């Protein structure tokens, strides 16, 4: 069966029966291939390792999806050397040929969407809806960045002639080898987007995926191989951050680095990466994303948009809504609608068709959730949720209930720290100005949203909010759902380092450096 209809994170309609059938058939196929041992991919060759680690299903940790090579510092060095060797060839490939390969990779991803989505359901705990969106986004990253290169004419721009016999042009050229360190929560889309930007620009890549989701990264790299990228253009080294990640950051031959993950890890990587010499890096480091509900809001729209944003992918999105500032005149009614919508979400095995929220990724995330709930019970009020699911069908997975809290004192840790779990705090305010002030009192500035039917309030929100991505009246996701070519996705303040969003019109340029070429004839 071919690719499904495109599903984005903001899609509101349910997938049709053909989509469910395609997913279920792919799920059976994926299950039949579980339990194998998977090597590293270096210079186009498979490399076995004497050390492996198990990749387990977060919905049932008894199920081992596969055993993956635990890479070493030497494996990283060899992968970087392979990427360096291939860069000499790949960087000289005419940009139109690179674009064709990148576009082909996007099309192959679309063709294998059901298989990849089923795998993510098992490995990352993603619902069908979220997993199909992940693959669709990955494919669109490749296609959109190919379009960017075409629209820019390969970033080759003639400049002024001071004399008739003098020719000058500005040319953006690739750096070399890029380290790509990808997260677990969008194991195909974010790895794909980072790799696509580097590759279409003429760089080569060493990919280090999150240890919770190596299988999805492996399938992505295999698809890039099938698309026709030369051996060594994309290398995969699986293993721990302490060993593989550190060796990659320390490798002097790496010309640039891109990372998506927590602020703490991202800032530590940046300091370490530039300890010896300055090199370009791109960091996307999470958020504490607010939504504002004014007295002039459509409360049905607000309740659904905030619930979907806070609890989609089990709250494990850097763009997830985690703070709500609601006008006290409508707070009671809004809270009732938000709680009602939240209670309607089915929690369970994400590969089942009606499940909205699957498990958390691992035991550490469950511990974070439990600690937050305990603090909320002590210092505020649990409106709904606040429980781990540890019995029956949930006994062997990392399941928790989506949780809404209120009555926390301003300045509380739970209103400040990124948690990355399905947990949203509601605060009453007296005005839009107060809401904006509180929303901006954060070290983060990734996404934000407002619900108001008053155009003047929406304009004031857009002018005053300190966030890289801002939405108004988005039922599909109050603060979530960015898409390549539709919404640039990048944060201000501690949420990002470059000020240029993924999936936006300025992204590919970050993987290139300018050379001015003057020829006097």
- Identify the helix (H) or strand (E) that includes residue 518: strand 512-520
Q: How many residues does the chain have?
A: 521
Residue 191 covered by a domain: yes
- How much is the pLDDT for 229? 98
Indicate if 314 and 261 belong to the same structural domain. Answer: no
What share of the chain has pLDDT > 90, as a percent? 96
Does the active-site annotation cover 318?
yes
Tell whether 339 and 460 lie within a shared domain. yes
The domain in which residue 475 lies consists of 289-484
Q: By the 8 A CB rule, do 291 and 306 touch? A: yes
My answer on whether 78 and 137 are in the same domain is yes
Residue 38's CATH number: 3.40.605.10
Distance from the Cα of residue 196 to its chain's centroid: 14
Which residue in the list 130, 304, 318, 457 is annotated as catalytic? 318
First and final CA of the chain: distance in angstroms?
A: 59
Taking the whole predicted model, whether its pTM rises above 0.75 is answered as: yes
Mean pLDDT of 407-428: 98
Mean pLDDT over 263-269 rounds to: 96
Given this model, what pLDDT does residue 161 score?
92
What does the pLDDT average to over 82-99? Answer: 98
- Inside any domain, residue 14: no
Q: Would residue 344 count as lying in a domain?
A: yes
Give residue-wise pLDDT tens across range 319-360.
Answer: 999 999 999 999 999 999 999 999 999 999 999 999 999 999
Catalytic residue among 115, 123, 284, 418: 284
In-domain check, residue 9: no
Which helix or strand (DSSP H or E) is residue 428 part of?
strand 423-429
* Residues 85 and 177 both lie in one domain: yes
**Count of domains observed in the chain:** 2
Is 183 within 8 Å of 259 (Cβ atoms)?
no
Higher pLDDT, 33 or 10: 33
């Amino acid at each position: 069966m071919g690719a499904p209809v495109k599903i984005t994170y903001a899609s509101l309609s349910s997938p049709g029966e053909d989509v469910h059938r395609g997913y279920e058939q792919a799920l059976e196929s994926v299950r039949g291939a579980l339990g194998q041992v998977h090597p590293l991919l270096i210079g186009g060759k498979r490399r076995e390792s004497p050390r492996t680690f198990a990749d387990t299903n977060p919905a049932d940790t008894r199920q081992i999806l596969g055993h993956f090579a635990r890479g070493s510092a030497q494996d990283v060095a060899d992968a970087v050397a392979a990427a360096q060797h291939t860069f000499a060839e790949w960087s000289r490939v005419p940009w139109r040929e690179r674009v064709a390969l990148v576009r082909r990779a996007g099309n192959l991803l679309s063709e294998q969407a059901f298989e990849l989505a089923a795998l993510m359901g098992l490995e990352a705990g993603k619902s069908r809806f979220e997993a199909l969106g992940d693959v669709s986004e990955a494919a669109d990253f490749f296609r959109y960045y190919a379009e960017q290169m075409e629209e820019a004419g390969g970033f080759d721009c003639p400049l002024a002639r001071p004399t008739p016999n003098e020719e000058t042009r500005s040319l953006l050229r690739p750096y070399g080898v890029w380290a790509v360190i990808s997260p677990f929560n969008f194991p195909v889309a974010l790895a794909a987007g980072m790799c696509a930007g580097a590759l279409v620009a003429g760089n080569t890549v060493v990919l280090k995926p999150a240890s919770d989701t190596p299988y999805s990264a492996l399938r992505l790299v295999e698809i890039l191989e099938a698309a026709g990228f030369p051996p060594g253009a994309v290398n995969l080294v699986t293993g721990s951050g302490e060993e593989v990640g550190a060796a990659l950051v320390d490798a002097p031959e790496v010309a640039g680095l891109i990372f998506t993950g927590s602020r703490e890890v991202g800032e530590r990587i940046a300091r370490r990466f530039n300890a010896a010499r300055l090199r370009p890096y791109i960091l996307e480091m999470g958020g504490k994303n607010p939504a504002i509900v004014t007295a002039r809001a459509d409360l049905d729209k607000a309740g659904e948009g905030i619930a979907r944003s806070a609890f989609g992918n089990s709250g494990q999105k850097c763009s997830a809504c985690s703070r709500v500032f609601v006008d006290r005149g409508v707070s009671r009614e809004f809270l009732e609608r938000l709680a009602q919508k939240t209670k309607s979400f089915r929690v369970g095995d994400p590969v089942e068709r009606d499940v909205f929220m699957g498990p958390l990724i691992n035991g550490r995330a469950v511990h974070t959730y439990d600690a937050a709930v305990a603090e909320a019970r002590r210092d505020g009020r649990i409106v709904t949720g606040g429980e781990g699911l540890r019995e029956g069908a949930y006994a062997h997975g990392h399941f928790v209930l989506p949780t809404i809290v209120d009555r926390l004192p301003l300045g509380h840790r739970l209103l400040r720290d990124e948690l990355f779990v399905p947990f949203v705090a509601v605060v009453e305010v007296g005005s839009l100005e107060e809401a904006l002030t509180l929303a901006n009192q954060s070290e983060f500035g990734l996404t934000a949203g407002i619900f108001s039917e008053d155009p003047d309030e929406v304009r004031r929100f857009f002018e005053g909010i300190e966030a890289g991505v801002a939405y108004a009246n988005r039922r599909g996701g109050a603060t979530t759902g960015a898409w390549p070519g539709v919404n640039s996705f990048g944060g201000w303040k501690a949420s990002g380092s470059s000020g240029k969003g993924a999936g936006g019109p300025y992204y590919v340029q970050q993987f290139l450096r300018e050379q001015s070429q003057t020829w006097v004839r």
